[in-house]
């Protein structure tokens, strides 16, 4: 899928800026630096997008940004056409003013200019409001991005270990870097008066760094701090189908194949209610045979709320954020097996840490009689330090 997104991203850039000149690092007359500024992303993110190493989510957001830039350019062209029309009308009225009485045609002049200028201002305000609204809804980056990524020449102190510390803090030094959500996962949402409400985690940007504050409690180099920006969604089954037995087997306490393969976006029976944004603080403890994760949420908010759906289906988004999803971070997760006892086995785009969890809530009302199972996995996208590390399995 990333290859398709990469190809679409390049095509959109060529449509907007011109042919891709790889030898000069330009699209038409625009440099990579100018384009990354236009898209409001860092040079490192733009490099990932250009060379095919970005996530699907990054491609989707960047393609939308390019499309909005194209729309804004088109609107600017229309505004210029309106300016030209105003100039023509002014010229016409100057000629008319020379032929007829000043008093009469002053009124005509101001009337015409008033209509045209009013139309111009209204169009420009509406278009810019639409663009700002769209950008506010869809343009999101990791809240700590400036602290983890800066240009080499910037006045910047990286949170990652420097080269002189990586051996001292092995194995956690090998885990430092950027991680993503390995696979999206979905859950039924309890706590409502009727079935049919679902949560789906779409993607996350997790930044891991070695933690030095736990050294008095755990072995040096075995503790990680993880700062996670998670994007998820709430969907409604418009038919409000009961969870059991179609989607959940009460005997085996597991989801059915139909639920596992269900894709909300491809099923007209389901409609998206809102997009959720959450920031979690994680602690990871690395042992030779396992990895333990503990987390707490820093905050969560909703955007793109479909108010019509919330009214029709009596969905209280605030209640869901505070009382239903508020406990999602306090799930019972098993420790993950550690296949990277030798930290040199960690590989970008390949290495995954997966945690099997049960989500429970006091207001459970869907008939499961226990936890809601799900698996949350993180995939290594970009490793801060990947040279040979001296620590080995014990």
Per-residue confidence of the chain (394 residues) as pLDDT tens digits? 568 888 888 888 888 888 888 878 888 888 888 888 888 888 878 888 888 888 887 888 888 888 888 888 777 766 665 665 665 566 556 555 555 555 454 444 445 555 455 554 444 444 444 433 433 434 468 989 889 988 767 888 889 999 889 999 999 999 999 999 999 999 998 767 778 999 999 999 999 999 988 777 788 989 999 999 999 999 999 999 988 889 988 888 889 999 999 999 999 999 999 999 999 999 999 999 999 999 888 889 999 999 999 999 999 999 888 888 866 555 678 999 999 999 999 999 999 999 998 887 666 655 666 678 899 999 999 999 988 888 877 6
Q: Are 58 and 8 in contact (CB under 8 A)?
A: no
Bridge pairing between strands 26-27 and 20-21: antiparallel
For residue 60, give both structure tokens.
């989707």
Task: Please report the pLDDT score of residue 22 as a whole number.
Answer: 82
Specify the long-range contacts of residues 88-94, CB closer than 8 Å, at least 24 apart: 89/113, 89/116
What predicted TM-score, i.e. pTM, was given to this entire model? 0.64
Bridge pairing between strands 352-359 and 30-31: unpaired
The full DSSP string for 316-381 is: -HHHIIIIIGGGGGG-EEPPEE-TTSSGGG--TTT-EEEEEEEE--TT--SS--S-EEEEEEEEEE
The rounded distance, in Å, linking the Cα atoms of 125 and 171 is: 55
Task: Please report the pLDDT score of residue 304 as a whole number.
Answer: 92
Task: Please report the pLDDT score of residue 344 as a whole number.
Answer: 92
For residue 58, give both structure tokens.
């990054």
Task: Please report the pLDDT score of residue 67 as a whole number.
Answer: 87
The rounded distance, in Å, linking the Cα atoms of 256 and 279 is: 31
Sequence-distant (6+) residues with CB within 8 A of 289 are 337, 338, 341
Q: For residue 285, what is the enclosing H or E element?
A: strand 270-286
DSSP, res 170: T
Bridge pairing between strands 223-237 and 177-181: unpaired
Cα angle at 136 between 199 and 45, to 5 degrees?
A: 85
Task: Please report the pLDDT score of residue 323 as a whole number.
Answer: 80
Bridge pairing between strands 248-249 and 352-359: unpaired
Phi/psi for 106 (5° steps) reads -65, -40
For residue 232, give both structure tokens.
């998820």
The domains of the chain are located at 2-138, 157-383
* Closest C-alpha among 294, 299, 295 to residue 277: 299
- Overall residue count recorded for the chain in this entry: 394
Q: Are 378 and 179 in contact (CB under 8 A)?
A: yes
Cα angle at 290 between 288 and 296, to 5 degrees?
A: 130
Helix (H, G, I), strand (E, B) or coil at 217: coil
The rounded distance, in Å, linking the Cα atoms of 212 and 291 is: 17
Q: Are 202 and 184 in contact (CB under 8 A)?
A: yes
Task: Please report the pLDDT score of residue 102 as a whole number.
Answer: 54
């Amino acid at each position: 899928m990333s290859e398709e997104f990469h190809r679409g991203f390049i095509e959109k850039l060529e449509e907007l800026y011109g042919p891709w000149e790889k030898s000069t690092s330009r699209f038409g007359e625009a440099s990579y630096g100018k384009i990354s500024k236009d898209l409001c992303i860092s040079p490192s993110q733009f490099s990932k997008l250009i060379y095919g190493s970005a996530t699907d989510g990054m491609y989707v957001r960047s393609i939308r940004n390019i499309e909005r830039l194209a729309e804004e350019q088109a609107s600017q062209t229309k505004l210029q056409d309106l300016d030209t029309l105003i100039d023509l009308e002014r010229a016409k009225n100057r000629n008319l003013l020379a032929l007829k009485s000043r008093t009469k045609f002053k009124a005509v002049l101001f009337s015409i200019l008033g209509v045209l200028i009013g139309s111009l201002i209204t169009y420009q305000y509406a278009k810019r409001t639409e663009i700002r609204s769209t950008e506010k809804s869809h343009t999101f980056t990791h809240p700590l991005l400036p602290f983890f990524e800066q240009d080499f020449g910037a006045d910047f102190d990286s949170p990652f270990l420097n080269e002189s510390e990586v051996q001292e803090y092995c194995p956690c030094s090998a885990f430092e870097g950027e991680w993503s959500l390995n696979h999206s996962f979905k859950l039924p949402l309890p706590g409502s008066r009727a079935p049919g409400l679902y949560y789906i985690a779409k993607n996350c940007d997790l930044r891991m760094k070695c933690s030095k504050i736990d050294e008095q409690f755990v072995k040096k180099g075995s503790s990680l701090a993880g700062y996670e920006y998670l994007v998820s969604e709430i969907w409604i089954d418009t038919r409000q189908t009961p969870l059991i037995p179609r989607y959940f087997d009460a005997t085996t306490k597991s989801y059915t194949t139909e639920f596992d393969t269900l894709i909300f976006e491809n099923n007209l029976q389901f409609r998206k209610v809102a997009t959720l944004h959450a920031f979690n603080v994680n602690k990871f403890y690395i042992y030779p045979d396992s990895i333990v994760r503990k987390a707490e949420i820093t905050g969560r908010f909703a955007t793109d709320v479909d108010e019509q759906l919330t009214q029709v289906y009596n969905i209280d988004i605030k209640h869901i954020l505070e009382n239903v999803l508020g406990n999602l971070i306090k799930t019972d997760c098993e420790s993950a097996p550690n296949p990277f006892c030798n930290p040199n086995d960690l590989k970008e785009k390949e290495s995954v840490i997966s945690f099997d969890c049960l989500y429970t809530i006091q207001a459970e009302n869907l008939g499961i009689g226990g936890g809601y199972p799900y698996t949350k996995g993180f995939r290594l996208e970009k490793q801060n330090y990947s040279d040979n590390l001296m620590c080995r399995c014990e």
